Chain A
Amino acid sequence: MNLNFWIIQAFNGISYGALLFLVGSGLSLIFGVMRIVNLSHGSYFMLGGYVALTVIWTTGSWLLAIPVAAVTIALLGLAMERIFLRQLGFDPLRQVLLTVGFAFLFQQAALDLWTGNNFDINPPAVLSQSIPVGGIFLPLYRVFMIAIAAAIGLVLWLVMEKTRIGAQVRATVDDAQMARGVGIDTSRISMGIFALGAFLAALGGVIGGAFLGIYPGLDFEMLPIAFAVVIIGGMGSLGGAAIGALLVGLADNFGKALFPEISYFTLYAPMALILAVKPTGLFGRE
């Protein structure tokens, strides 16, 4: 267990965290704005990967697969929010159950459309190589993942903090009723955020599909991890999601490398503890 081990594990953890940020930030925003625990978020991740596979099989273009998958799933999320979630009003339990009902439907649909096989999304050869950095070979693809997540994080942050729409979203997170009172169309904000969340999750699915693979059951595997990110970071906060993603990514990697037998326990026990002590998460908006 020399220095290289620590560097490589840390690098892997950070790049996994980058992926988790894509999934977690959307979930966090959805919760913040709508107070919905969206249990179909893992399904968006998985479906994003599957749609990308179809695009790659038909056109052969990995670059095209990314936007097509993300936009398709965003539209799916949009439809779900408008047609079904909207009419439930504010009733957390029913909303949660409804999203899980959809998760089951998506699961079956994925099984029918894409069979039960395990697929890999192969990125272009350019990204598949490794680059030497100070004597260690780092897979370029993971560097790419970190770059994408950082870029998206930056854009989201700029939109949230510097634009009028961002201010409206923040107002809705802090107090939806008050936001409605001052004339913010919270219904439209909810719709937009839900679609954005689905978009980001699907994007994660395409990018993560290269090293996680795409297979049935990925949805419910990803979902609790995404929740861990959101809870540790704090619900409804973008910066929190970034820190949460980083912490979970590192904890997951080091946990699996150092004490594999209790590695998931070391992930979820802190999550439960944080929830018990500070329900809004480490960096949640009060």
Chain B
Amino acid sequence: MRSHTWKILMVVAALAAVLIIVPNTGSFIILLVTRALAFSILVMSLDILLGYTGLASLGQAAYLGVGAYATAILATKYHIGLGWDFWLVMLIGTLLGAALAAIFGLLAIRASGVYFLMITLALGQCVWGLAYRWNSLTGGDNGINVRERPKFGGIDLANEQTFFFLVFAVFCAALLLMYTLVRSPFGRSLAGIRERELRMQILGYNTWLHKYIAFIIAGAFGGLSGVLWAHTAGIVSPVNVELPTSVDALLMAVLGGSGTLVGGVIGTFIVFGLREFLSTLVPWWQYVLGIVYVATILYLPTGLMGIPERLRQRQAKSNGRDTAKKLASATS
């Protein structure tokens, strides 16, 4: 398992680099990285379903939405979550995400393949419909402005750097938790379900329950990312729960490489980076994004994280050919 230790070291080194470099850059970069970190928790949560359980969800933004709306409503209407009780709101957001997933999962987990895509799309649209239309609660189309960030002890999260550290810490904790989850026996059984559900059933696993629990866990992390997102973006609106947002999350996971957790983070950073930088440089930035998506799906089904493996295979193939040639020339 030496290559595995290497991989962990590389991730830790990358995280350390982000932690050291980013706070010393301008506020533009800090904000960009903060947004990407908050959103990538959602993408990783989706990866638990997509990459480890084999369930492609088209409605993952709903969980981000629940966490974000809860945070925004509590903060603006009841002044909850602007002091020490921010940690309580973080818990509430996570639990709400889990609760919503527990309800939706009852309907969705029965389906598989394309039907799972469709049903999660429908459930996501339910949440969007409420966010868009339930004016008295959600502010409708305009959404809710979250003007204040929490302030507790000597810490004021209005400061971009301080807020970055918070999001970074939560991100690392989420990554660690999800990593532990997918490496656990439970995570292994999920992978077994992804590969061959019938076989797992025959082996005596309750695959429905496994998938249901994975769905709830993914929802919980979605809610968590929503809490961070509300304070990062400063506004929560139906855009956060609409279909294109769910689709974005799915594409980011696939772009980086599903079933790797870290791949989703890389995908998120690439897409956020392209969006923020390219959109200031050229008006046709969305073409680049579209072409990146299409090219990934056509030519890199395993995503960016799959590139080393593909190179290795190619290497192995050409090595094999060389050996074969040598053998052939030796015998002739």
Number of residue pairs across A and B with beta carbons under 8 Å?
Answer: 130
Do A262 and B119 have beta carbons less than 8 Å apart?
A: no
Please indicate the chain A residues that have their CB under 8 angstroms from the CB of B243 in the complex: 220, 223-224
Please indicate the chain A residues that have their CB under 8 angstroms from the CB of B284 in the complex: 108, 112
Residue from B242, B243, B250 whose CB has the most chain A CB atoms within 10 Å: B243
Say which one of B93-101, B123-131, B159-167, B211-219 lies at the interface with A: B123-131
Please indicate the chain B residues that have their CB under 8 angstroms from the CB of A271 in the complex: 122, 125
- Say yes or no for A272: interface residue by CB 8 A criterion: yes
CB distance from A115 to the nearest CB of B (A): 12
- Say yes or no for A84: interface residue by CB 8 A criterion: yes
Residue from A31, A35, A265 whose CB has the most chain B CB atoms within 10 Å: A265
Do B130 and A265 have beta carbons less than 8 Å apart?
A: yes
Interface residues in B123-164 by Cβ distance below 8 A to A read 123, 125-126, 128-130, 132-136
Say which one of B109-117, B305-313, B321-329 lies at the interface with A: B109-117
Do B134 and A261 have beta carbons less than 8 Å apart?
A: yes
Do B129 and A101 have beta carbons less than 8 Å apart?
A: no
Q: Give A5 to B239 CA distance when docked, in angstroms.
A: 33
How many residues does chain B have at the interface if contact means C-beta atoms less than 8 Å apart?
Answer: 46
Say which one of A54-62, A157-165, A273-281 lies at the interface with B: A273-281
Please indicate the chain B residues that have their CB under 8 angstroms from the CB of A109 in the complex: 287
- Say yes or no for A50: interface residue by CB 8 A criterion: no
- Say yes or no for B320: interface residue by CB 8 A criterion: no
Interface residues in B166-182 by Cβ distance below 8 A to A read none
Q: Give A175 to B84 CA distance when docked, in angstroms.
A: 60
Evaluate whether A263 and B133 lie within 8 angstroms (CB atoms) in the complex, with A84-B294, A101-B297 already known. Answer: yes
Please indicate the chain B residues that have their CB under 8 angstroms from the CB of A92 in the complex: 113-114, 117
Interface residues in A205-249 by Cβ distance below 8 A to B read 220, 223-224, 227-228, 231
Q: Give A262 to B293 CA distance when docked, in angstroms.
A: 34
Q: Which of A100, A102, A268 contacts B129 (CB 8 A)?
A: A268
Do A105 and B294 have beta carbons less than 8 Å apart?
A: yes
Interface string of B255-296 (1 = CB under 8 A from A): 000000000000000000000000000011011011101100
Do A102 and B294 have beta carbons less than 8 Å apart?
A: yes
Interface residues in A154-194 by Cβ distance below 8 A to B read none
CB distance from A20 to the nearest CB of B (A): 15
Do B286 and A231 have beta carbons less than 8 Å apart?
A: no
Evaluate whether A268 and B294 lie within 8 angstroms (CB atoms) in the complex, with A107-B286, A262-B134, A276-B108 already known. Answer: no
- Say yes or no for B23: interface residue by CB 8 A criterion: no
Q: Give A64 to B33 CA distance when docked, in angstroms.
A: 51
Q: Which of B107, B113, B114, B251 contacts A101 (CB 8 A)?
A: B251
CB distance from B208 to the nearest CB of A (A): 13
Q: Give A268 to B283 CA distance when docked, in angstroms.
A: 35
Evaluate whether A227 and B118 lie within 8 angstroms (CB atoms) in the complex, with A87-B298, A98-B297 already known. Answer: yes
Interface string of A26-51 (1 = CB under 8 A from B): 00000100010101000000000000
Residue of chain A at shortest CB distance from B290: A105
Interface residues in B215-256 by Cβ distance below 8 A to A read 242-244, 247, 250-251, 254
CB distance from A107 to the nearest CB of B (A): 7
Please indicate the chain A residues that have their CB under 8 angstroms from the CB of B250 in the complex: 97
Q: Give A39 to B289 CA distance when docked, in angstroms.
A: 17
Q: Give A101 to B247 CA distance when docked, in angstroms.
A: 10
Please indicate the chain B residues that have their CB under 8 angstroms from the CB of A273 in the complex: 107
Do B293 and A224 have beta carbons less than 8 Å apart?
A: no
Q: Give A31 to B242 CA distance when docked, in angstroms.
A: 23
Do B286 and A108 have beta carbons less than 8 Å apart?
A: yes
- Say yes or no for A124: interface residue by CB 8 A criterion: no
CB distance from B136 to the nearest CB of A (A): 7
Please indicate the chain B residues that have their CB under 8 angstroms from the CB of A101 in the complex: 251, 290, 293-294, 297
Residue of chain A at shortest CB distance from B292: A101
Please indicate the chain A residues that have their CB under 8 angstroms from the CB of B136 in the complex: 261
- Say yes or no for B37: interface residue by CB 8 A criterion: no
Interface residues in A94-117 by Cβ distance below 8 A to B read 94, 96-98, 100-102, 104-105, 107-109, 111-112
- Say yes or no for B66: interface residue by CB 8 A criterion: no
CB distance from B289 to the nearest CB of A (A): 6
Q: Give A273 to B108 CA distance when docked, in angstroms.
A: 9
Please indicate the chain B residues that have their CB under 8 angstroms from the CB of A265 in the complex: 126, 129-130, 133
- Say yes or no for B301: interface residue by CB 8 A criterion: yes
Give me 21 A-to-B residue pairs in the complex whose CB atoms sit less than 8 angstroms apart, sorted by A's number: A84-B298, A94-B301, A96-B114, A97-B254, A97-B293, A101-B294, A104-B293, A105-B290, A105-B291, A220-B244, A223-B243, A261-B135, A261-B136, A262-B130, A264-B132, A264-B133, A265-B129, A265-B133, A268-B129, A272-B122, A275-B118
Given A262-B129, A272-B104, 8 extra CB contacts under 8 A: A37-B117, A88-B297, A98-B297, A100-B251, A108-B287, A261-B134, A268-B126, A275-B115
Interface residues of B (CB under 8 A from A): 56, 58, 104, 106-108, 110-111, 113-115, 117-119, 121-123, 125-126, 128-130, 132-136, 242-244, 247, 250-251, 254, 283-284, 286-287, 289-291, 293-294, 297-298, 301
Name the 9 nearest CB pairs between A and B, nearest first: A264-B129, A101-B293, A105-B290, A108-B286, A276-B107, A272-B122, A101-B294, A268-B125, A275-B119
